[in-house]
Structure 1
Amino acid sequence: MAKYIEAKCRICRREGCKLFLKGDRCFTDKCAYDRRPYAPGQHGRARKKVSDYAVQLREKQKTRRAYGVLECQFRGYFEKAEMQKGVTGANLLFMLERRLDNVVYRLGFANSRNQARQLVRHGIFTLNGHRVTIPSLQVKVGDIVAVPEKNRKISVLAEAQEVIARRGCPAWLEALGADFRGTVKALPQRDDIQFPVNEQLIVELYSK
Protein backbone atom coordinates (compact mmCIF):
# COMPACT_ATOMS: atom_id res chain seq x y z
CA MET A 1 0.00 0.00 0.00
CA ALA A 2 1.28 3.48 -0.88
CA LYS A 3 2.54 5.58 2.01
CA TYR A 4 3.73 9.18 2.25
CA ILE A 5 7.11 9.16 4.02
CA GLU A 6 8.22 12.78 3.57
CA ALA A 7 7.78 15.58 6.12
CA LYS A 8 4.07 15.99 6.84
CA CYS A 9 4.42 19.71 7.49
CA ARG A 10 5.21 20.18 3.79
CA ILE A 11 1.67 19.01 3.01
CA CYS A 12 0.12 21.74 5.16
CA ARG A 13 2.35 24.35 3.57
CA ARG A 14 1.49 23.10 0.08
CA GLU A 15 -2.26 23.18 0.74
CA GLY A 16 -2.13 26.60 2.39
CA CYS A 17 -3.79 25.66 5.69
CA LYS A 18 -3.28 23.60 8.83
CA LEU A 19 -4.35 19.99 8.38
CA PHE A 20 -3.27 18.97 11.91
CA LEU A 21 -1.33 15.98 10.60
CA LYS A 22 1.12 16.00 13.53
CA GLY A 23 -1.38 16.32 16.37
CA ASP A 24 -0.36 18.42 19.35
CA ARG A 25 2.68 19.84 17.55
CA CYS A 26 0.31 21.79 15.30
CA PHE A 27 -0.94 23.74 18.34
CA THR A 28 2.55 24.85 19.40
CA ASP A 29 5.08 27.41 18.18
CA LYS A 30 6.97 24.59 16.47
CA CYS A 31 4.32 24.30 13.75
CA ALA A 32 6.09 24.67 10.40
CA TYR A 33 3.04 26.26 8.78
CA ASP A 34 2.99 29.08 11.36
CA ARG A 35 6.68 29.70 10.75
CA ARG A 36 6.55 29.53 6.94
CA PRO A 37 2.96 29.92 5.68
CA TYR A 38 3.83 29.48 2.01
CA ALA A 39 4.35 26.53 -0.33
CA PRO A 40 7.61 24.56 0.07
CA GLY A 41 10.37 24.66 -2.50
CA GLN A 42 12.51 27.27 -4.19
CA HIS A 43 9.53 29.02 -5.79
CA GLY A 44 7.14 28.65 -2.87
CA ARG A 45 6.76 32.40 -2.37
CA ALA A 46 6.32 33.21 -6.05
CA ARG A 47 2.97 34.56 -7.18
CA LYS A 48 1.32 32.18 -9.58
CA LYS A 49 -1.69 32.48 -11.84
CA VAL A 50 -4.22 29.96 -10.53
CA SER A 51 -6.79 28.41 -12.88
CA ASP A 52 -10.23 27.16 -11.86
CA TYR A 53 -9.02 23.59 -12.28
CA ALA A 54 -6.07 24.24 -9.96
CA VAL A 55 -8.39 25.60 -7.27
CA GLN A 56 -10.62 22.54 -7.53
CA LEU A 57 -7.64 20.17 -7.48
CA ARG A 58 -6.12 21.80 -4.41
CA GLU A 59 -9.45 21.54 -2.57
CA LYS A 60 -9.66 17.84 -3.36
CA GLN A 61 -6.03 17.21 -2.40
CA LYS A 62 -6.44 19.17 0.85
CA THR A 63 -9.46 17.12 1.90
CA ARG A 64 -7.95 13.80 0.86
CA ARG A 65 -4.72 14.45 2.71
CA ALA A 66 -6.45 15.73 5.83
CA TYR A 67 -8.31 12.43 6.20
CA GLY A 68 -5.32 10.36 5.09
CA VAL A 69 -7.10 8.69 2.18
CA LEU A 70 -5.47 7.56 -1.07
CA GLU A 71 -6.78 8.78 -4.42
CA CYS A 72 -8.42 5.48 -5.35
CA GLN A 73 -10.22 5.34 -2.01
CA PHE A 74 -11.29 8.96 -2.24
CA ARG A 75 -12.70 8.47 -5.73
CA GLY A 76 -14.61 5.45 -4.46
CA TYR A 77 -16.15 7.53 -1.67
CA PHE A 78 -17.21 10.14 -4.21
CA GLU A 79 -18.90 7.56 -6.44
CA LYS A 80 -20.82 6.19 -3.45
CA ALA A 81 -21.77 9.73 -2.41
CA GLU A 82 -23.15 10.37 -5.90
CA MET A 83 -25.46 7.37 -5.65
CA GLN A 84 -26.88 8.39 -2.28
CA LYS A 85 -29.80 10.75 -1.74
CA GLY A 86 -28.97 14.31 -0.79
CA VAL A 87 -26.10 16.65 -1.63
CA THR A 88 -23.14 14.76 -3.09
CA GLY A 89 -20.45 16.94 -1.49
CA ALA A 90 -22.01 16.69 1.97
CA ASN A 91 -22.45 12.91 1.59
CA LEU A 92 -18.76 12.64 0.76
CA LEU A 93 -17.73 14.49 3.91
CA PHE A 94 -20.12 12.45 6.05
CA MET A 95 -18.55 9.18 4.87
CA LEU A 96 -15.07 10.49 5.61
CA GLU A 97 -16.18 11.60 9.08
CA ARG A 98 -17.73 8.20 9.83
CA ARG A 99 -14.50 6.30 9.20
CA LEU A 100 -13.43 4.45 12.34
CA ASP A 101 -9.95 6.02 12.42
CA ASN A 102 -11.50 9.50 12.23
CA VAL A 103 -13.96 8.67 15.03
CA VAL A 104 -11.08 7.45 17.22
CA TYR A 105 -9.28 10.73 16.52
CA ARG A 106 -12.40 12.81 17.20
CA LEU A 107 -12.97 11.00 20.50
CA GLY A 108 -9.50 12.05 21.64
CA PHE A 109 -7.89 8.59 21.73
CA ALA A 110 -5.14 9.71 19.33
CA ASN A 111 -3.27 12.92 18.56
CA SER A 112 -3.74 12.63 14.81
CA ARG A 113 -5.68 10.60 12.27
CA ASN A 114 -2.48 8.87 11.22
CA GLN A 115 -1.85 7.77 14.80
CA ALA A 116 -5.50 6.70 15.14
CA ARG A 117 -5.19 4.58 12.00
CA GLN A 118 -2.12 2.85 13.39
CA LEU A 119 -3.83 2.11 16.71
CA VAL A 120 -6.87 0.67 14.94
CA ARG A 121 -4.70 -1.54 12.74
CA HIS A 122 -3.03 -2.93 15.86
CA GLY A 123 -6.40 -3.96 17.27
CA ILE A 124 -6.34 -1.57 20.24
CA PHE A 125 -10.08 -0.78 20.01
CA THR A 126 -13.34 -2.70 20.05
CA LEU A 127 -16.52 -1.77 18.21
CA ASN A 128 -19.65 -2.92 20.02
CA GLY A 129 -17.53 -5.38 22.00
CA HIS A 130 -15.73 -6.88 19.00
CA ARG A 131 -12.05 -6.29 18.20
CA VAL A 132 -11.61 -4.37 14.94
CA THR A 133 -8.57 -3.70 12.75
CA ILE A 134 -10.13 -1.90 9.75
CA PRO A 135 -9.62 1.91 9.86
CA SER A 136 -12.07 2.55 7.01
CA LEU A 137 -14.97 0.84 8.77
CA GLN A 138 -18.10 3.06 8.71
CA VAL A 139 -19.66 3.59 12.15
CA LYS A 140 -23.42 3.78 12.69
CA VAL A 141 -25.67 5.50 15.23
CA GLY A 142 -25.47 3.67 18.55
CA ASP A 143 -22.04 2.14 17.93
CA ILE A 144 -19.70 2.07 20.93
CA VAL A 145 -15.94 2.44 20.47
CA ALA A 146 -14.01 1.30 23.52
CA VAL A 147 -10.56 0.32 24.75
CA PRO A 148 -10.30 -3.06 26.53
CA GLU A 149 -8.83 -3.07 30.02
CA LYS A 150 -5.58 -4.70 28.89
CA ASN A 151 -4.84 -1.87 26.40
CA ARG A 152 -5.55 1.11 28.67
CA LYS A 153 -1.97 1.48 29.88
CA ILE A 154 -0.81 2.76 26.50
CA SER A 155 0.50 6.28 27.09
CA VAL A 156 -1.33 7.80 24.11
CA LEU A 157 -4.68 6.56 25.38
CA ALA A 158 -3.96 7.72 28.93
CA GLU A 159 -3.92 11.31 27.61
CA ALA A 160 -7.43 10.99 26.16
CA GLN A 161 -9.19 13.26 28.67
CA GLU A 162 -6.57 15.99 28.30
CA VAL A 163 -6.85 15.87 24.50
CA ILE A 164 -10.64 16.12 24.56
CA ALA A 165 -10.52 19.05 26.98
CA ARG A 166 -8.20 20.91 24.64
CA ARG A 167 -9.63 19.95 21.25
CA GLY A 168 -13.28 19.31 22.06
CA CYS A 169 -15.57 16.56 20.80
CA PRO A 170 -18.14 16.94 17.96
CA ALA A 171 -21.80 17.03 18.96
CA TRP A 172 -22.56 13.79 17.12
CA LEU A 173 -20.13 11.87 19.36
CA GLU A 174 -20.03 11.38 23.12
CA ALA A 175 -16.61 10.86 24.69
CA LEU A 176 -16.24 9.20 28.08
CA GLY A 177 -12.50 9.48 28.56
CA ALA A 178 -12.53 8.16 32.12
CA ASP A 179 -14.18 4.95 30.88
CA PHE A 180 -12.05 4.81 27.71
CA ARG A 181 -15.23 4.69 25.68
CA GLY A 182 -17.08 6.73 23.09
CA THR A 183 -20.56 6.54 21.58
CA VAL A 184 -21.93 7.57 18.19
CA LYS A 185 -25.01 9.57 19.21
CA ALA A 186 -26.10 10.65 15.74
CA LEU A 187 -24.94 10.98 12.16
CA PRO A 188 -22.63 13.93 11.47
CA GLN A 189 -24.16 17.12 10.09
CA ARG A 190 -22.48 19.70 7.87
CA ASP A 191 -22.19 22.16 10.77
CA ASP A 192 -20.25 19.56 12.78
CA ILE A 193 -17.41 19.60 10.25
CA GLN A 194 -15.24 22.59 11.15
CA PHE A 195 -12.52 21.68 8.66
CA PRO A 196 -12.33 24.52 6.08
CA VAL A 197 -13.39 22.77 2.88
CA ASN A 198 -15.58 23.76 -0.05
CA GLU A 199 -16.94 20.37 -1.07
CA GLN A 200 -18.70 21.83 -4.12
CA LEU A 201 -15.31 22.37 -5.76
CA ILE A 202 -14.55 18.66 -5.34
CA VAL A 203 -17.87 17.77 -6.98
CA GLU A 204 -17.10 20.09 -9.88
CA LEU A 205 -13.65 18.54 -10.31
CA TYR A 206 -14.92 14.95 -10.48
CA SER A 207 -17.91 15.89 -12.62
CA LYS A 208 -15.81 17.06 -15.57
Structure 2
Amino acid sequence: MSRYRGPRLRIVRRLGELPGLSRKSPRKAYPPGQHGQARKKRSEYAIRLEEKQKLRFNYGISEKQLIGYVRKARRATGSTGQALLQLLEMRLDNTVFRLGMAGTIPGARQLVNHGHVTVNGRVVDIASYQCRPGDVITVRNRDRSRSLVQANMEYPGLANLPSHLEFDKNTLTGKVNSVVEREWIALQINELLVVEYYSRMA
Protein backbone atom coordinates (compact mmCIF):
# COMPACT_ATOMS: atom_id res chain seq x y z
CA MET A 1 0.00 0.00 0.00
CA SER A 2 1.37 3.43 -0.94
CA ARG A 3 1.59 6.49 1.32
CA TYR A 4 -1.76 7.78 2.60
CA ARG A 5 -2.87 11.06 1.01
CA GLY A 6 -6.52 11.18 2.14
CA PRO A 7 -8.24 13.19 4.91
CA ARG A 8 -5.96 13.24 7.95
CA LEU A 9 -8.56 14.01 10.61
CA ARG A 10 -10.46 10.87 9.62
CA ILE A 11 -7.38 8.83 10.58
CA VAL A 12 -6.92 10.82 13.82
CA ARG A 13 -10.54 10.12 14.78
CA ARG A 14 -10.05 6.42 14.13
CA LEU A 15 -6.66 5.90 15.78
CA GLY A 16 -6.42 8.69 18.36
CA GLU A 17 -3.92 11.55 18.57
CA LEU A 18 -1.13 11.38 15.97
CA PRO A 19 1.16 14.39 16.61
CA GLY A 20 3.16 13.84 13.43
CA LEU A 21 0.19 13.61 11.06
CA SER A 22 -1.91 16.65 11.96
CA ARG A 23 -1.91 19.61 14.33
CA LYS A 24 -5.71 19.80 14.24
CA SER A 25 -7.91 17.99 16.71
CA PRO A 26 -11.19 16.45 15.53
CA ARG A 27 -14.49 17.98 16.64
CA LYS A 28 -16.02 14.53 17.12
CA ALA A 29 -14.45 12.19 19.66
CA TYR A 30 -15.73 8.94 18.14
CA PRO A 31 -14.43 7.08 15.05
CA PRO A 32 -15.82 7.99 11.61
CA GLY A 33 -18.43 5.98 9.75
CA GLN A 34 -21.95 4.70 10.28
CA HIS A 35 -20.99 2.53 13.26
CA GLY A 36 -18.45 4.91 14.80
CA GLN A 37 -20.47 5.52 17.97
CA ALA A 38 -21.41 1.87 18.50
CA ARG A 39 -19.22 0.18 21.10
CA LYS A 40 -17.67 -2.93 19.65
CA LYS A 41 -15.57 -5.52 21.38
CA ARG A 42 -12.26 -5.61 19.52
CA SER A 43 -10.26 -8.79 19.00
CA GLU A 44 -6.59 -9.04 20.00
CA TYR A 45 -5.68 -8.93 16.32
CA ALA A 46 -7.65 -5.69 15.85
CA ILE A 47 -5.84 -4.06 18.80
CA ARG A 48 -2.41 -5.04 17.41
CA LEU A 49 -3.39 -3.89 13.91
CA GLU A 50 -4.47 -0.51 15.29
CA GLU A 51 -1.12 0.01 17.05
CA LYS A 52 0.71 -0.89 13.83
CA GLN A 53 -1.45 1.55 11.85
CA LYS A 54 -0.64 4.32 14.36
CA LEU A 55 3.06 3.92 13.51
CA ARG A 56 2.41 3.85 9.77
CA PHE A 57 0.22 6.93 9.64
CA ASN A 58 2.13 9.01 12.22
CA TYR A 59 5.49 8.58 10.45
CA GLY A 60 3.96 8.51 6.95
CA ILE A 61 5.57 5.29 5.79
CA SER A 62 4.31 2.44 3.63
CA GLU A 63 3.68 -1.11 4.84
CA LYS A 64 6.75 -2.30 2.94
CA GLN A 65 8.95 0.32 4.63
CA LEU A 66 7.58 -0.57 8.08
CA ILE A 67 8.33 -4.27 7.51
CA GLY A 68 11.90 -3.26 6.59
CA TYR A 69 12.24 -1.25 9.82
CA VAL A 70 10.89 -4.18 11.88
CA ARG A 71 13.48 -6.52 10.34
CA LYS A 72 16.25 -4.00 11.06
CA ALA A 73 15.01 -3.60 14.67
CA ARG A 74 15.07 -7.38 15.17
CA ARG A 75 18.76 -7.43 14.26
CA ALA A 76 19.56 -4.66 16.76
CA THR A 77 20.56 -5.41 20.34
CA GLY A 78 18.09 -4.77 23.16
CA SER A 79 14.33 -4.36 22.93
CA THR A 80 13.00 -4.80 19.37
CA GLY A 81 10.08 -2.42 20.04
CA GLN A 82 12.32 0.36 21.34
CA ALA A 83 14.80 -0.13 18.48
CA LEU A 84 11.91 0.16 16.00
CA LEU A 85 10.73 3.45 17.53
CA GLN A 86 14.29 4.80 17.55
CA LEU A 87 14.77 3.95 13.85
CA LEU A 88 11.56 5.80 12.97
CA GLU A 89 12.31 8.78 15.24
CA MET A 90 15.82 9.22 13.80
CA ARG A 91 14.55 9.58 10.21
CA LEU A 92 15.48 12.96 8.74
CA ASP A 93 11.88 14.06 8.11
CA ASN A 94 10.93 13.32 11.72
CA THR A 95 14.06 15.03 13.06
CA VAL A 96 13.26 18.17 11.04
CA PHE A 97 9.72 18.04 12.49
CA ARG A 98 11.00 17.61 16.09
CA LEU A 99 13.40 20.55 15.63
CA GLY A 100 10.33 22.70 14.92
CA MET A 101 11.17 23.49 11.29
CA ALA A 102 7.79 22.09 10.16
CA GLY A 103 4.35 21.72 11.74
CA THR A 104 3.83 18.08 10.73
CA ILE A 105 5.93 15.16 9.46
CA PRO A 106 4.40 15.42 5.94
CA GLY A 107 5.38 19.12 5.96
CA ALA A 108 8.91 18.21 7.07
CA ARG A 109 9.11 15.54 4.35
CA GLN A 110 8.21 18.15 1.74
CA LEU A 111 10.98 20.48 3.04
CA VAL A 112 13.49 17.63 2.75
CA ASN A 113 12.30 16.40 -0.67
CA HIS A 114 12.46 19.91 -2.14
CA GLY A 115 16.09 20.33 -1.05
CA HIS A 116 15.62 22.97 1.67
CA VAL A 117 17.60 21.03 4.31
CA THR A 118 21.32 20.22 4.58
CA VAL A 119 23.00 17.58 6.75
CA ASN A 120 26.66 18.24 7.63
CA GLY A 121 26.83 20.91 4.91
CA ARG A 122 25.39 18.76 2.10
CA VAL A 123 21.86 18.91 0.70
CA VAL A 124 19.99 15.69 1.59
CA ASP A 125 16.64 15.23 -0.14
CA ILE A 126 15.92 11.70 1.14
CA ALA A 127 13.33 11.79 3.94
CA SER A 128 14.26 8.32 5.23
CA TYR A 129 17.92 9.29 5.82
CA GLN A 130 18.93 7.97 9.26
CA CYS A 131 20.31 10.77 11.44
CA ARG A 132 23.24 9.85 13.66
CA PRO A 133 24.71 11.48 16.78
CA GLY A 134 26.92 14.37 15.67
CA ASP A 135 24.87 15.25 12.55
CA VAL A 136 24.31 18.99 12.03
CA ILE A 137 21.02 19.80 10.32
CA THR A 138 20.62 23.27 8.86
CA VAL A 139 18.31 25.14 6.52
CA ARG A 140 19.83 25.69 3.09
CA ASN A 141 21.34 29.17 2.74
CA ARG A 142 18.68 30.50 0.36
CA ASP A 143 16.03 33.16 0.99
CA ARG A 144 13.22 30.84 -0.09
CA SER A 145 14.35 28.03 2.25
CA ARG A 146 14.87 30.31 5.26
CA SER A 147 11.55 32.14 4.84
CA LEU A 148 9.68 28.81 4.56
CA VAL A 149 11.18 27.47 7.78
CA GLN A 150 10.74 30.76 9.67
CA ALA A 151 7.04 30.78 8.69
CA ASN A 152 6.70 27.17 9.90
CA MET A 153 8.40 27.97 13.21
CA GLU A 154 5.62 30.38 14.14
CA TYR A 155 3.26 27.38 14.45
CA PRO A 156 5.40 24.41 15.57
CA GLY A 157 3.85 20.96 15.79
CA LEU A 158 5.29 20.07 19.23
CA ALA A 159 6.35 22.63 21.81
CA ASN A 160 9.09 20.70 23.63
CA LEU A 161 12.46 19.99 22.03
CA PRO A 162 13.61 16.42 22.84
CA SER A 163 16.76 16.01 24.96
CA HIS A 164 18.74 14.37 22.11
CA LEU A 165 18.44 17.49 19.91
CA GLU A 166 19.56 21.10 20.18
CA PHE A 167 18.42 23.97 17.96
CA ASP A 168 19.63 27.54 17.38
CA LYS A 169 16.72 29.66 16.13
CA ASN A 170 18.99 32.51 15.00
CA THR A 171 21.09 30.41 12.62
CA LEU A 172 18.32 27.79 12.01
CA THR A 173 20.81 25.07 12.89
CA GLY A 174 20.04 21.87 14.76
CA LYS A 175 22.33 19.17 16.09
CA VAL A 176 21.72 15.52 16.93
CA ASN A 177 23.53 14.80 20.21
CA SER A 178 22.42 11.22 20.80
CA VAL A 179 19.79 8.61 19.95
CA VAL A 180 16.28 9.53 21.15
CA GLU A 181 15.16 8.14 24.53
CA ARG A 182 11.81 6.35 24.87
CA GLU A 183 10.19 8.98 27.13
CA TRP A 184 10.69 11.70 24.48
CA ILE A 185 8.69 9.87 21.82
CA ALA A 186 5.48 11.90 21.48
CA LEU A 187 3.31 9.16 19.98
CA GLN A 188 1.21 7.24 22.55
CA ILE A 189 1.81 3.66 21.46
CA ASN A 190 2.47 0.17 22.79
CA GLU A 191 5.35 -0.87 20.54
CA LEU A 192 5.34 -4.46 21.88
CA LEU A 193 1.95 -5.02 20.22
CA VAL A 194 3.45 -3.94 16.88
CA VAL A 195 6.29 -6.45 17.30
CA GLU A 196 3.75 -9.13 18.23
CA TYR A 197 1.66 -8.26 15.16
CA TYR A 198 4.60 -8.86 12.83
CA SER A 199 5.80 -11.97 14.68
CA ARG A 200 2.36 -13.52 14.10
CA MET A 201 2.41 -12.45 10.45
CA ALA A 202 5.85 -13.94 9.81
Determine if the TM-score, normalized by the shorter chain, exceeds 0.5.
yes
TM normalised by structure 1 equals 0.90
175, 179, 192: which one aligns with 1:183: 175
105, 112, 121: which one aligns with 2:104: 112
1:9 equivalent to 2:9? Answer yes
Relative to structure 1, the CA distance from residue 97 to residue 20 in structure 2 (aligned partners, 3 Å threshold; closer, same or farther) is closer
- Percent sequence identity is 43
- Backbone CA RMSD of aligned residues: 1.9
Q: Aligned AA for 2:114? A: H
Match of 1:53 in 2: 45
Match of 1:21 in 2: 21
Match of 2:192 in 1: 200
Relative to structure 1, the CA distance from residue 165 to residue 203 in structure 2 (aligned partners, 3 Å threshold; closer, same or farther) is closer
* TM-fit CA distance, 1:122: 0.5
Paired residue secondary structure (2:57): helix
Q: Give the number of the structure whose residues are more often helix, by fraction.
A: 1
Relative to structure 1, the CA distance from residue 107 to residue 203 in structure 2 (aligned partners, 3 Å threshold; closer, same or farther) is same
1:80 equivalent to 2:72? Answer yes
Residues in 1 aligned to 2:77 and 2:3: alpha-carbon distance in whole angstroms: 33
Paired residue secondary structure (2:174): strand
Paired residue secondary structure (1:186): coil
Residues in 2 aligned to 1:153 and 1:135: alpha-carbon distance in whole angstroms: 16
133, 142, 151: which one aligns with 1:159: 151
Residues in 1 aligned to 2:188 and 2:128: alpha-carbon distance in whole angstroms: 22
* TM-fit CA distance, 1:194: 2.9
Paired residue secondary structure (1:183): strand
* TM-fit CA distance, 1:21: 1.9
* TM-fit CA distance, 1:47: 1.1
Match of 1:96 in 2: 88
Per-residue CA shift, 1:102-154, capped at 9, x if unaligned? 00000011010001001100000100000111000001101000012214565
Q: Aligned AA for 2:137? A: V
Q: Which piece of structure 1 moves more, 87-96 or 41-50?
A: 41-50
Q: Which piece of structure 1 moves more, 94-103 or 189-198?
A: 189-198
Q: How does 1:28-39 map to 2 (within 5 A)?
A: 31-32=25-26, 35-39=27-31
Per-residue CA shift, 1:81-112, capped at 9, x if unaligned? 00111100000000000000000000011010
* TM-fit CA distance, 1:64: 1.3
Q: Aligned AA for 2:133? A: V
* TM-fit CA distance, 1:16: 2.8
* TM-fit CA distance, 1:161: 4.9
Structure 1 gaps, min length 5: none
Paired residue secondary structure (1:179): coil
Q: Is the 8 A contact 1:89 1:200 kept in 2?
A: yes
Structure 2 gaps, min length 5: none
Relative to structure 1, the CA distance from residue 155 to residue 145 in structure 2 (aligned partners, 3 Å threshold; closer, same or farther) is same
Relative to structure 1, the CA distance from residue 50 to residue 195 in structure 2 (aligned partners, 3 Å threshold; closer, same or farther) is same
Residues in 2 aligned to 1:179 and 1:56: alpha-carbon distance in whole angstroms: 43
